[in-house]
Structure 1
Amino acid sequence: MFILLLLNISFALPDFYHQFDSINLNQYSNCAKIETLIEDPKVDVITINENAKFKAFLLFGEHARELISPETGLHLLDSICNNKYDVSKYQIKMVLNLNPLSRMRVENGEYCLRLNENNVDLNRNYDAHFKQYTDMEQQTNSGPEPFSEPETRAVRDLLKSYKPNMFLSIHSGSAGLFTPHAYSMEEPQNYEELMKVLNVIREDHCPMCETGLSSKNVGYLAFGSAMDYAYDEIGIKNSYLFEIYHKDVNMINDLRVESIKKQKRSFLELKDDSSNQECFDYFNPKEKEQYDWYTQNWSDAIIKTLGLVEQQSNEDIILAHN
């Protein structure tokens, strides 16, 4: 047992990953207006181009062990600040790291930690087809009631006040581009329109990604998710979830569609006694070349998604006035 514990804690966070508690978001003040929601814990919200008409809400880091999600958000922000993308048409709100207290613990070696500081799965805590269940072994504890957590309340308040045209949540642990719904096998009314966007992203950025209805593709129902809340309760008809990394799907060199079948070993099989090394590898690239490729690829994909949805929204407006 002692040897096993040594093996579990011996893996150090690669130095190209960020320590989020040491990031001073004020460094981006020249290219973005910074808002800070003083909740407990604090949730940092970055707003870009606050006068642009098309509004997008980007959510990173719901699950602490999915380090590559906030890393991609940070890369996207750096790229915007360095004028690598033309985002003049888009007003963007970014929550870079929704689960900061648990993220700090992951950075310090608890690589299997998914839940927040109250042992709640944030992506089961929204008031959208909420179902209370306590499964600590699988780390899908919903919490005692919807919005019991300060993090999900912060997202709720932002979505209600911001009223974006598009919602996108970034995760890892699979390779997929998903639409609502997560709680049922029911397709959303505008499923075909959502799929037009995802099919382009799949072709250009993730040919091996499973694409379509979230519940159908991941193989289980997820109640109380952020995406379903955005779609069903806030009314954001362009709501998506991207799963951007899985250790058994090599997006860089292996573009065979059949490689996706390896990922069917669900994250739910990662028990509390899984090694820290196994958890890190499952959700995050560990080589610098992979890290650079994934953060760049998915930053490009997010910007392309903004453009596709904005264009589609304008076409819908034109049709409505004809």
Structure 2
Amino acid sequence: MVETIKTGNRGYKAEISVVTYCRSRKEADDRTKFRILLSFGQHGRELITTELAFRILSILSEEQFLPDVDAASLNNILDKLVIKVVPMENVNGRKLVEGGDLCERRNGRGVDLNRNWSVDWGKKEKDYDPYEENPGTGPFSEPETQIMRKLALTFDPHIWVNVHSGMEALFMPYDHRNTTPDGAPSEQMRSLLSKLNNVHCHKRCMIGSGGGSVGYLAHGTATDFMYEVVKVPMAFTFEIYGDTAASSQDCFKMFNPVDFTTFHRVLNDWSSSFFTIFKLGPNQLDGNSSKEMASSLDKFVSIDEYLDGYLVERRNRYGKKMEVLDVGMQEIRTYFRLFLLSSVLLLFMFCSRIARSKSSRPIVSALPV
């Protein structure tokens, strides 16, 4: 099933296509199934990521097949899953790249979509580059991130993967600090990433937190939001290719393979890794997480029809009630300022009227004349 979601603000429009895979279409909304959300093409110049999305979808639709994989065994794995794939999150940015701006990573109005999320939004490091990392006017100021946020909160995935290129790495939270989460969740994520690195990345991939491994901290990223706010048990950022020998002026070569041999190797290795995730992911979470899939706390209630899409009220798998405003934080602040201003004006008018009323009254002596 393919759905195209469109939205816009302040004269800028965006659309994102979402492909939902479930072996039985009638069960696509079954909340007892294990849910996986994959996003590709968040940065326009990373064309290889969208090619990987199409390869995964072609295997799921049985147009192509994984070597040495039994079809019956694979179907048994897929029976338990609902997978949502966003093949190209940044359509407008991709158009700029295809128009010749091969170094462009931002969206159609110059905002880095992977700096526009709310967790630690807007913080700038000493090496901050406004061309590369413009976070926008506020968290979720961009239509693309508004669409992705609503998709994540309503789908409520157990696994999230944000796919990029520029190096070979398997990252887990956090991006905005150089540490990983504490306790069992961190160990579960690291265990799965280690298996992927050994089998599919041939031990070439860096593993760890994005902030602690890549050499710089990133603020306002999608993966940190998924882990911190949506409470996705396993939230990852994958870097699937990078040419470290390429000139910094040759962005296409830095982020995308330029020969057929490397191109097919990247797609073969990484598509296989995702099917390993499909197989191991549900088993990697502990028994409590599995039970939570069927818990009544996992249900959500949408009231979009009452508030015209601005408010979604739901409960996540941990029972915490959440409210999500689909207008950007910048608009919320504007409305709040207007409310305060109008309140002050009303108070001023009220006090002025009382003062005029007192001054216009006739003076009556308290003593008899």
Residue in 2 that maps onto 1:242: 238
Aligned residues: CA RMSD: 2.2
Give the 3 Å change call, closer, same or farther, for CA 279–318 of structure 1 in structure 2: closer
Contact 2:179 2:212 (C-alpha < 8 Å) held by counterparts: no
1:74 & 1:105 partners in 2: Cα distance?
20
Normalized against structure 2, the TM-score is what? 0.68
- The question of 1:281 aligning with 2:253 is answered yes
How far apart are 1:201 and its partner, in Å? Answer: 0.2
Unaligned segments of structure 2, at least 5 residues:
8-12, 23-27, 66-73, 293-369
Aligned ranges for residues 58-73 of structure 1 at < 5 Å?
A: 58-73=38-53
Q: Percentage identity across aligned positions? A: 31
The AA in structure 2 aligned to 1:282 is M
How far apart are 1:47 and its partner, in Å? Answer: 0.6
Q: Deviations 1:256-298 (Å, cap 9, x if unpaired)?
A: xxxxxx7xx9xxx94xxx2xxx100000001112111111211
Q: Deviations 1:282-321 (Å, cap 9, x if unpaired)?
A: 000011121111112111111111222111236445799x
- The question of 1:191 aligning with 2:176 is answered no
Report how many residues are paired: 265
Q: Given the alignment, which residue of 251, 264, 271 partners 1:299?
A: 271
Q: Deviations 1:143-196 (Å, cap 9, x if unpaired)?
A: 110000000000100011111111000000011001000001232132111100
Aligned ranges for residues 114-133 of structure 1 at < 5 Å?
A: 114-133=105-124
Give the 3 Å change call, closer, same or farther, for CA 121–314 of structure 1 in structure 2: same
The AA in structure 1 aligned to 2:236 is Y
1:154 & 1:35 partners in 2: Cα distance?
12
Normalized against structure 1, the TM-score is what? 0.77
Contact 2:178 2:213 (C-alpha < 8 Å) held by counterparts: no
1:315 & 1:292 partners in 2: Cα distance?
38
Residue in 1 that maps onto 2:148: 155
How far apart are 1:247 and its partner, in Å? Answer: 1.0
1:67 & 1:74 partners in 2: Cα distance?
11
Residue in 1 that maps onto 2:214: 218
1:203 & 1:316 partners in 2: Cα distance?
28
Residue in 1 that maps onto 2:97: 106
Aligned ranges for residues 1-322 of structure 1 at < 5 Å?
A: 33-39=1-7, 40-49=13-22, 50-51=28-29, 53-82=33-62, 84=65, 86=75, 87-133=78-124, 138-189=131-182, 190-206=185-201, 207-248=203-244, 270=248, 274=249, 278-313=250-285, 315-317=287-289
The AA in structure 1 aligned to 2:186 is Y
1:96 & 1:45 partners in 2: Cα distance?
7
Give the 3 Å change call, closer, same or farther, for CA 146–286 of structure 1 in structure 2: same
1:161 & 1:91 partners in 2: Cα distance?
13
Contact 1:231 1:239 (C-alpha < 8 Å) held by counterparts: yes
Contact 2:36 2:157 (C-alpha < 8 Å) held by counterparts: yes
The AA in structure 2 aligned to 1:113 is E
2:43 & 2:289 partners in 1: Cα distance?
36
2:41 & 2:290 partners in 1: Cα distance?
36
Higher relative contact order (CA 8 A, sep 6+): 1
The AA in structure 1 aligned to 2:181 is P
Secondary structure of 1:38's counterpart equals: strand
The AA in structure 2 aligned to 1:204 is V
Give the 3 Å change call, closer, same or farther, for CA 314–51 of structure 1 in structure 2: farther
Give the 3 Å change call, closer, same or farther, for CA 319–150 of structure 1 in structure 2: closer
Q: Deviations 1:227-268 (Å, cap 9, x if unpaired)?
A: 0000001100210010000113xxxxxxxxxxxxx7xx9xxx
